[in-house]
Structure 1
């Protein structure tokens, strides 16, 4: 068949009020990684109502909606993440989180809603020939042993074959209605390092009788940055961020230990290995130099997300058709954030893209909110992508 009347933003305008209601409901009822029971239940119910074949419990709370139309033999997968973050919301919205200390601070409520909107449009227009699988994934934010890893370990692509897979993330700072792409390495690998410095506690007035772990940890925070400036090629990108440092409980007590937690980002496997080797060696020798001992737990996280050229060019072209070339950035600089969709792209060709969220707070910020003005753009884009990919 030849696909005609490809989806436009006007075609999905009537869906927008209902989608806003779903998105704001999800925002009001956030669930953390591996806790997405109610979100998954809502997704499965909506897909059932639309006539999709629905599979639940994939990789935890993962939900897959499948729809076959016509005689086409090709298949496509599109993924949305569902989990929230352990952040206390500070938006002041009428639909702010009902759960203290949990909020959708990364926009996964919007990602899920847009894919449900695309499901609705695809089900009613049926303007394609082949099979579309919609993957609603849990536990993207967890950093390791993620929802993507578990879904794949349970044979996701054997059970739901795909010729290509696609996903997106909202992007604060770019206008609503813009989409951004990049071929090749697009988002960073991310490893987590947990370090415990074991010293010797004692009285604050007698530091010479102790080995102060706070002093060791504090100097280590600065020393670790020398790895970036002196061990990594200036033409490469790498980040070491110490996001947590905890020790002690009283001003007049030198504690026995201090704990640091850090995030390590890179775009190259060689650089990633250098970072691991140097971080371990520097921490151990640094602590020893103060008479302390370091216990290091180096946890490998998500790999570099690498977009495939053919699929990225195709996805970019679809965006240009839908939005106009002036609203498409074909070569966005690499992003130091990480994304477990990288595991999908290790097994199947595909593309992960970004879409503007307007002038919102940054991701993972207590003031962040997904921009509902983006909903029809995402719905129309996913629908048109499927129509174009599954055209004979």
Structure 2
């Protein structure tokens, strides 16, 4: 691949353009909003000049409802040898593409499993897709050269390719992406009119749960509209679980001991099923989930403190597998949770304490 076109210079389109440009690919940028394309170009994502002839690959990064129309326009213009889109749903756009009679031999659907709460070209990063799954959904007509072009795109962006059926992809993202977005928003909505004293008690649990609730509502309406049925099916199942949990919690308040026991069993069942589901989420580098131990360190809010802490771990040969930071409300101090291999927790704890850090190991 030597040349590419990106149609739609939002977060995903501009990030892909930045990654390709960094690899020496000449990228031509288009957007319905010329200012967005010029902004992306100013960031080094490519050029707003039109290509002199067909590029190797056109990447269509527009909302799902617009994929087919944009693809048809690009193919009429002979913009590229091969085409892909990066929409977060695949079955609906594929039906629209078939209805418009687009060339599906030189087209393949795709979806990089990456994103951020912020949108637009200014939120883009060349490393956005590093190590992330990138789903490819070829049509029955997609030829080998088109698939190879998409695989090259994925490789250039540092992602990991996975080939799936379009409908299976949509069922999967309804469960692991679209429904969590709505649930995060529903939980965060409870905070809108909450008392200030309650909000001030917010800790890492509520922050983690509601992080993606900061996403762009209009963008998510477009995504959910394209996968509404599958998301609604999952929400119905969740609603049944919620009803059972509410009934269990009410029973815990009953005077009758037998009812209280039934309520406790119902609530425990939901929590245990949650444990089982959480355990199935792949761990580091896609490996089976690994149980780490947590070393909690109090750290001051000064420049260089976090780097010093990581350097201390490196000096004793401990690899930090994951990290979380909890900030204390109204104080210039935080708690850093370092996830390490069980065999390393004691070594790291002792070494940090010896060097004057306030530390504990959550075994």
Question: What's the TM-score bracket when you normalise by the shorter of the two chains?
Answer: under 0.3
Between structures 1 and 2, the one with greater helix share: 2
Between structures 1 and 2, the one with greater strand share: 1
Work out which structure has the larger RCO, using CA pairs closer than 8 Å and 6 or more positions apart in sequence: 1
TM-score by length of 1: 0.22
> Highest CA radius of gyration, 1 or 2?
2
